[in-house]
Chains A and B, each alone.
Chain A
Amino acid sequence: MQPFPLAHHPDGTDPVLLEWIRHVFDSLLGWGPGVWVAATGAVIVAIPVGILVVFWRQRRMTRGARR
């Protein structure tokens, strides 16, 4: 039995599928693991930072306009 790749709710992803995904990525872009980690890591950090920036900017604008 393999762990489940595409369930509704969080479960493991199929190792065969993952191996294939890695192969496709490598052949498409030819990036090294370091570049991949940096690029995807940047996206992971950018999402919460982006949400907070939008939230604080809008809060400041609204407060400024009220004054």
Chain B
Amino acid sequence: MATAETPKRMFYGWYVVATVVFINFIAIGARSGFGLFVKPMSDELGWDRATISLAAALGVLVGGVMQPFTGHVFDRYGGRRVITLSLGAVGLATVALMWTSNLVYLIVMYSFVLSVVFSGAGGSVVNVLVSRWFERRRGTAIAITSMGASLGQLILIPFAMYLMVLVGWRYTWMVLGLSVVLAMPLAWLLLRDDPAEVGARPDGDAEPSREAARAAQRRGPLEVNEWRDAFRSAPIWEIMGGYFVCGFTTNILSTHFVPFALDRGLSGAAAATVFGIMGALNIVGVFSAGYLSDRMSRKNLLAVVYAVRGTAYAVLVLVHAPWALYAFVVIAGVSWLATIPLTTGLTADIYGLKRLGTLAGIVLMAHQAGGAISIYFAGWVFDRTGSYDVAWGVAAVLLLFATLSAIVIPEKRYSVRYQPAPAAR
């Protein structure tokens, strides 16, 4: 009998996860390298840092605004096509940056073209695709793919940094773009929109028993066929509100932490070390959150993550000793990326998979809006008060609201994970 000798096959969903890890690795890694180009491009083209940073900030906004639209296209045409084509477009747009000669070109190409096409290759769509392959291990799978982005920054940034020393910034853009194109054949060959396409079931479950088949037909009471319907219920607003605060409290720090640490008397190297520790801790944090969220309530874990981050900001405001910075980094570091699997997982569990692309895009747009507002808010506060204390205080208070907003999500009532199986006929 063939079945007795057939070697145990790895669940196809893990190939999807591995492919998405590489997509995040290459696409997010390449885009994160923008900071590398600030100095050489400014020097050659005679721009100041603020001008070139404007292109980066605009890129964040455009990318955020595009997410719901890309998510809608994803829901309609499937992830494999959208992601593969977007990867090609991201690669070509990145190559095109080598011909930058004026600010208008940079803004059009980086802030608009690249940000628009990037929303189809990174951001929320890849997590939505992974959500279709996993139900019980959804949090873990999304956490693993999120780690691909951190890994990309770890490898691609030194790669681009040293390549620039060898061939200059123009050819570095070209090589980075071609590296992204490298992911296209992998995506086309291995990505599949649904487990049924390869004769599998979510999580790699075997052919179900009658009991399991009934359990698989569970539907959450808020599962939507149209994305608009989700906005008639409270949980999407609670999830979005929390993610807005998440964007606010991560971007504010990403932009202002190094100058803040220098103001507190840390050397540049120490400030960078502290930030590096945070980078390592966020990898630990995201995996732990994803893994735990498959075993306990996602909304409670999300509340804990926001509360932990809020405590870290409170420490920053209340304690002015140098150790407070290190305490902040350790406490906040674990919470940094941990919200991604929890937020996407909750949205999928409550509203189902049919319109998840659009919904996850809208939730991510709220995150990016929070991020953009926070950057300007912190700068504005610093210019008027000469300190970041008010900005950190606002972040702490907002995180308190985000914690409460996560706690009140009626997960047990609406999440498909807690729904009873339909009765046998």
Partner-B contacts on A (CB < 8 A): 1-18, 20-23, 25, 33-34, 36-37, 40-41, 43-45, 47-48, 51-52, 54-55, 58, 61-62, 65-66
Contacts and interface: CB of A to CB of B under 8 A. Distances in A.
B179 A9 contact: no
Nearest to B38: A15
Residue picked from B254, B269, B271, most chain A C-beta under 10 Å? B254
A52 B189 contact: yes
B159 interface: yes
B375 A66 contact: no
Interface string B24-66: 0111100111111011000000000110011011011001000
A43 B254 CA distance: 27
B25 A20 contact: no
B154 to A, nearest CB: 9
A10 B247 contact: no
A37 B162 contact: yes
A8 B249 CA distance: 11
Contact of B254 (A5, A37, A54): A5
A4 B59 CA distance: 11
Contact of B28 (A10, A47, A58, A65): A10
Nearest to A36: B162
Nearest to B340: A8
Interface string B219-249: 0000000000000000000000000001100
A4 to B, nearest CB: 4
> Chain B's interface: helix, strand, loop or mixed, by majority?
helix
B64 to A, nearest CB: 8
Interface residues of B, number: 81
Contact of A15 (B25, B39, B246, B279): B39
Interface stretch (B4-12, B74-82, B136-144, B294-302): B4-12
B272 A21 contact: yes
Given A40-B158, A51-B190, 13 more contacts: A11-B60, A12-B56, A17-B276, A20-B273, A22-B162, A33-B166, A41-B159, A44-B26, A44-B155, A44-B182, A47-B22, A51-B186, A65-B2
A11 B56 contact: yes
Contacts of A48: 22, 182-183, 186
B266 to A, nearest CB: 12
Contacts of B379: 1
A5 B156 CA distance: 14
A25 B268 CA distance: 16
Contacts of A43: 155
Given A17-B258, A21-B157, A4 B251 contact: yes
